[in-house]
A and B are shown apart, each in its own frame.
Chain A
């Protein structure tokens, strides 16, 4: 039996022993095209912090430059997991600083995911 509730268009499954299921499709990402990944990362970060980050370089510290607290890194991490359908280990949380370091973390997990599939 499926039980759960709707959340702004996504169904969150409450079934026991079942993982979170969303209606969002599996994103396809070409890891050989870093610009494509950067664009996606920028979109996710902007949606999470609700601020325009066009002026940020790849190496700027996102939290410092945008005047955000450290917990925002956790929100960005969670948003990346949701967007790319991966689970990022807690040990990688301190690496959520610049767009480049986020990209490096994501590439690591997305490559692992590719190997598994």
Chain B
């Protein structure tokens, strides 16, 4: 089980601010699972509109954070020198509790299947060990020429 520094994490992930939704990787077992973290801060731009005076992290961004954590797991598990792009193909996520800043959003992903074309993952997001969202997602991976 390994931990990745932010720099190491970014080597495996094409996403960058303002569309980077994981801050660190706390645990990773290649081919199996990952636990990443997003420190959700009240100052983040999207909270200005979602919603004024009532900040709640949008569900689509929780999905994005879970997908990015899964991308890191995928990239570490199936290493390649090629530049990769990831396309979310499906997500079946149930949202259980609102994510209100400031908080530490834990992002868990367990690989169900990973092949060169993409991967299928079971995912869960939690705050203070309380599950806030869980489900499954599939993404396609394409290498850029």
Contacts and interface: CB of A to CB of B under 8 A. Distances in A.
A19 B70 CA distance: 18
A81 B112 CA distance: 9
Question: Contact residue range for chain B?
Answer: 20 to 34
Task: Give the dominant DSSP class at B's interface.
Answer: strand
A81 B116 CA distance: 17
B128 interface: no
Please list the 10 inter-chain residue pairs (A to B) with the smallest Cβ-Cβ separation, ordered nearest first. Answer: A78-B113, A71-B89, A78-B120, A90-B115, A78-B112, A16-B1, A12-B110, A71-B140, A75-B138, A71-B138
Given A14-B33, A16-B1, A75-B90, A90 B27 contact: no
Interface of A: 5, 7-8, 12, 14, 16, 19-20, 69-72, 74-75, 77-78, 81-82, 90, 93
Contacts of B115: 74, 90, 93
B32 interface: yes
Contacts of B113: 74, 77-78, 81
Contacts of A69: 89
A12 B117 contact: no
A7 B122 CA distance: 8
A37 to B, nearest CB: 21
Contacts of B38: none
Given A69-B89, A81-B113, A12 B122 contact: yes
A81 to B, nearest CB: 7
A90 B27 CA distance: 26
A7 B124 contact: yes
Contacts of B118: 71, 74
A29 B74 CA distance: 32
Contacts of B112: 78, 81-82
Nearest to B106: A5
A83 to B, nearest CB: 12
